Amino acid sequence: MEDSARGLMQLLEDDAVRILDEKLTEEQKVQVQAMGVPVLLCSTAGVRDFHDWYREALFVILRFLINHPKPGHGYKFFTNPEWTRPITGAEEGLYAFLALNHLSGRLGEDPARCYVDEYGMKQCRNDLVGVVEVGGASTQIVFPLQDGTALPSSIRAVNLQHERFLPSRFPSADVISVSFMQLGVASSSGLFFKELCSNAEFRHQGICYNPCIFRGFRQACSAGDVEILPDGTIVVDEDVRKNKLKPVATYCSANNPEISFKAMNEIQCRVNKIDPTKSLAERLRIDDCFQIVGTGDFDTCQAQVEELLVSPRFPLPANIEAASSGFESVGQVFKFASTASPMVITGGAMYASISTMQGLGLLPKDFQDDVPGISRLLEGLFPETASAGGCADEPATLRGVSAETEKHISAGKARLQDLRDAERRCHDAWQAIVVIDGGSSATRTNVFLAKTRSCPRGGRHIDPDSIRLLGAGKRFAGLRGVLESWLDAYAGEDWESRSVDSKRLFQHVPEMEDSARGLMQLLEDDAVRILDEKLTEEQKVQVQAMGVPVLLCSTAGVRDFHDWYREALFVILRFLINHPKPGHGYKFFTNPEWTRPITGAEEGLYAFLALNHLSGRLGEDPARCYVDEYGMKQCRNDLVGVVEVGGASTQIVFPLQDGTALPSSIRAVNLQHERFLPSRFPCADVISVSFMQLGVASSSGLFFKELCSNAEFRHQGICYNPCIFRGFRQACSAGDVEILPDGTIVVDEDVRKNKLKPVATSCSANNPEISFKAMNEMQCRENKIDPTKSLAERLRIDDCFQIVGTGDFDTCQAQVEELLVSPRFPLPANIEAASSGFESVGQVFKFASTASPMVITGGAMYASISTMQGLGLLPKDFPGDLEQLIAASRTYCSSPVVNSGDGLVIQLPNAEQKLTSMNYDLCKTIALTVSLIQHMEAGEHKPSSISWQKSVVGPDGKPRADLGWHVGAILHRVLFTEEWGRTAYETGFTYNM
């Protein structure tokens, strides 16, 4: 591979040298050779879908070759892993967008687009142009959004500053950027031929009649390159490498793990008439077709292009990146988002399609928008260098004065020195930070205290090691509950079962604000109570003077909420936080970065940062550093992975071993590159993935629905659940369970408390994510939820009136594995996990694994182990041994439930445990634990240890904080000291005055 790459790079290097020698003046050559020549080598769609380690290995070799050019020509070429790498389709589109707007003079800060607002602040609007760039293998669409655009929660807009495509000095810009594979000029031709000529409507007696080719044109029925000889003969190249179907046919192979492990991807290939189980020759062949004849019917041509390429029912193959942006086809882009900005269409073939007709007089010469000429004004800014100064030495002593006078002089000098030292030394002060957890079932305030340090000319920063939890507040209504109650009132009852005109609901924004105000008042009062109770008087003075940053993050509870309601709620919440009640003295403040919905990957990464910080593994430990053979200090990470199981989702995050080769579809997160850690920390690559419907509550609902819909476990209306203790009986519903003191088991019929409610709401034909996207609809139906039915029907378990526990742990674990951990199709609303490269938990450790220790956290997961430890079924120092855990689980879960007279108890061989609503289905959680361990230990690398933790204990023996994402969310902000200083101190609460 290195030899092949060396041959190519030699040609490229020689070509670059030729251009430089021809185009540069002698003076320029001297300067260019002295400074070195940066090289950016980027691959686009051509190798974007290449799986296995080969692609990454090729780029390692290419970087080495660039950095070691031939001696003699004098040009010092150099590169690095950020400059020479495969780029995503979204990056390719954004680079084209930046180039267009820069070259047309629209990217900078134009005084004509700036004004002073009512507060005396300069504001500058963007006047950017959108771009459609059509290449050989993919099409990129990028356009700016208008201010105030409300997008569905699944659509990911890119803020050019936040994503670091533009510096903060440029006017802020939000854009849509999406890339579609198989929509390039060459790739779309191959796929179009394959699909059109496989359709009997366009094929007759082996001849395919192609409406997109001129009348009278005839060629062999193949997607190979076409050559037209001088005598008019039309020759189709039979070289497989030049067949336009070759890239997608190679991808659509049963030997590609992306196809063999992921049923959705296989379906996309088959829909496009490519059978992954066939040989490459068969996948390239158009069956029952020997000739293509052009008919020149443009209307039919355009209709087929629309149906097969632009708006297909299923996504075109290898388009996981587009789906992760929220779009499955070009046809969906402008359904979900649009722009009033000018649009420029570029790419050789697209430009030729217009210029050809202009040249033939079929279109006027001015058939295009007026794009300003290219402006290339280069300005060199050379700041003056400040001169250094010095101070003359003072006399060491004074002569001719009395001893008493000299004593007072010395005292005065000492005092003056103390004052000087006070000006120069760092000052510490306490600051409170409030993290509000907008979880799936409740909203809760968590108040932290941290020590800040302010140094002259160094700004103020937080000491991360000083962060500790002051107190956790009461549980109030969840954000989902606030939105659903508002919709009940103003969209009408049963809005989940019918179409709602969301635009009409804008008139009820004031009522949404009233609902949010009630909740925020409770949260604010609770935070003030904790601060008043826990702070000393000195700390109160400092905390009130500095202001209290507030981070309010919603997790899985509203992650799948569609339409504009969720974003509107957060705009209101930020306003309310920034305008607290007067009187208590605490100046709460926030901003759009701190108070917002967070993705599952972010939630997992915050939990990962929290765990590794609290356990002392995040910093630069001298014991983990060494000087390499080149004299450079290198520091290795010693990080711990985490599995965090919440109420509605599960997050899995673990560090990768050095040299790990991942398939190209798996997206590893570099903590520095993605700005979760500053560059001063040792470099770390991690896998971070989040699965909706795998939280403790949400998985229970989905598990009941699927298990009890299976005739194998249902007989005469009774569902026999192996994950519930023997003797337990309840109504056949996923509602909340209450066990009364006399042993009566009551199931709450309140729809809001049904564990199936979130996924049943999402799986509605009135949700554009379902109605426009066939894959999402299929996932709902696979999980026994018909989107066309009413909400009540989607919640109901058909032909079932009672659930009875059988306590069969082996069957329980097998069903948890089949239905939740390794389902054939992804669980509903899991587009984020799929965009990371995983469709199920079972796939995570097939594609990636770790030798690092793993910590499993979350209340129910911790309880599943601590309960059996408390009953003596597992040792107190349980090391995570799988066989030991399975044996203990069989004993625990097979225990019967009996009525002791004082209520229901679990009757173990040597103990009793009171049955509660918290432990009646604990065996499902234990089964999930077992499945997780089985998959971790089946990976290429096995964790060095597996443990269960609820919190991390400090040197004083007291818990520093509970594990979870809260501390990680704080660290993500405060570790970037300059940005934190600007937002928390320079801007701070005074921004809202």
Per-residue confidence band for 826, with pLDDT thresholds at 50, 70 and 90: very high
Distances (CA, A) of 973 to 365, 598, 679, 979: 54, 14, 14, 8
Q: CA torsion sign, 760 to 761 to 766 to 769?
A: negative
HSE-up of residue 779 (Cα within 13 Å, Cβ side): 29
Distance CA 380, CA 434 (A): 45
Residue 331 carries which side chain, given as an amino acid letter?
A: G
Q: What is the DSSP string of 364-382?
A: -TT-S--PPPP--------
- pLDDT, position 118: 60
Distance CA 577, CA 551 (A): 10
pTM, to two decimals: 0.83
Q: Name the least confident of 61-75, 193-207, 719-733.
A: 61-75
Q: What is the mean pLDDT of residues 464-471?
A: 92
649 marked as part of a ligand binding site = yes
Per-residue pLDDT tens digits for 4-26 = 999 999 999 999 999 999 999 99
| Token code pair at residue 178 | 């999406």
651 marked as part of a ligand binding site = yes
Per-residue confidence band for 957, with pLDDT thresholds at 50, 70 and 90: confident
Q: What is the mean pLDDT of residues 262-276?
A: 92
Domains by residue range for the chain, with CATH: 1-86 (3.30.420.530), 89-181+341-360 (no CATH), 185-312 (no CATH), 427-597+963-992 (3.30.420.530), 692-953 (3.30.420.540)
Q: 272 with 192: CB under 8 angstroms?
A: no
- Residue 573's closest CA among 590, 593, 549? 590
Distance CA 113, CA 683 (A): 41
647 marked as part of a ligand binding site = yes
- Helices (DSSP H) in 477-536: which residue ranges? 479-490, 509-534
565: region left, alpha or beta (phi > 0 left; psi from -120 to 50 alpha): alpha
- pLDDT, position 418: 75
- Just list the catalytic residues: 603
- pLDDT, position 373: 29
Q: Is the pLDDT of residue 119 over 70?
A: no
> In sequence order, what E strands does 646-711 have?
649-655, 669-670, 685-692
Q: Name the least confident of 50-64, 135-149, 637-651, 712-726.
A: 50-64
CA angle 614, 616, 620 (to 5 degrees): 135
Q: Is the pLDDT of residue 374 over 80?
A: no
Distance CA 520, CA 524 (A): 6
Q: Does 480 or 991 have the greater pLDDT score?
A: 480
Per-residue pLDDT tens digits for 174-188 = 899 999 999 999 999
Task: Show the 3-state SS of 894-954.
Answer: CCEEEECCCCEEEECCCCEEECCCCCCCHHHHHHHHHHHHHHHHHCCCCCCCEEECCEEEC
H/E stretch holding 448: strand 442-455
Per-residue pLDDT tens digits for 392-410 = 444 444 457 788 888 888 8
Q: What is the mean pLDDT of residues 216-220?
A: 95
Distance CA 208, CA 219 (A): 10
Per-residue pLDDT tens digits for 537-552 = 999 999 998 999 999 9
| Token code pair at residue 938 | 């089946």
Per-residue pLDDT tens digits for 311-331 = 999 999 988 888 888 899 999
Per-residue pLDDT tens digits for 582-622 = 889 999 999 999 999 999 999 999 999 999 999 888 876 66
Q: What is the mean pLDDT of residues 856-864?
A: 92
Q: What is the mean pLDDT of the chain?
A: 88
- pLDDT, position 387: 34
359 marked as part of a ligand binding site = no
Helix (H, G, I), strand (E, B) or coil at 235: strand
Residue 710 carries which side chain, given as an amino acid letter?
A: N
Q: Name the least confident of 497-501, 845-849, 851-855, 894-898.
A: 497-501
Place of tokens 């936040």: 162
Per-residue confidence band for 379, with pLDDT thresholds at 50, 70 and 90: very low
Q: Name the least confident of 431-435, 628-632, 950-954.
A: 628-632
- pLDDT, position 420: 65
Q: What is the mean pLDDT of residues 625-653?
A: 82
| Token code pair at residue 638 | 């010693």
Which long-range contacts link 406-415 to residues 24+ away (Cβ below 8 Å)?
none
Distance CA 776, CA 767 (A): 10
